[in-house]
Amino acid sequence: MSQIPPYVLAWYDKAVVQRIMEKYAMTEMDAARAFLTSEVHAMLEDPELAMWEFSERAIFDMWECERVTGDPRNSVHLRSEIA
């Protein structure tokens, strides 16, 4: 796939922004800005990463990890735990 369909991004944007608004009591504009300017959103837009295979809850978790730790790769959904 060479490009993510716009309706897929729009669906994730709406779902994740709603979760941000609910959890952090942000306005819609602030929540949208926080998500749309995040590294997670840039990763979601990259078709090579196939991030659309994750649920919106997982994408939110990655965004939250980025917010807390500075790196979305700290999310349990992206970490590679090798024993």
Q: Using an 8 Å Cβ cutoff, are 69 and 40 in contact?
A: no
Within a domain: residue 82? Answer: no
pTM of the model: 0.88
Which residues make Cβ contacts (< 8 Å) with residue 54, sequence separation at least 6? 62, 77
CA distance 75 to 57: 12
Number of domains in the chain: 1
Kindly report, residue by residue over 37-75, the tens digit of the pLDDT. 999 999 999 999 989 899 999 999 999 999 999 999 999
Task: Provide the CB-side half-sphere exposure for 13 (13 A, CA).
Answer: 16
pLDDT band (50, 70, 90) for residue 82: very low
Within a domain: residue 1? Answer: no
Kindly report, residue by residue over 3-18, the tens digit of the pLDDT. 888 999 999 999 999 9
Within a domain: residue 83? Answer: no
pLDDT band (50, 70, 90) for residue 77: confident
Q: Using an 8 Å Cβ cutoff, are 9 and 44 in contact?
A: yes
- Identify the domain containing residue 10 by its residue range: 6-74
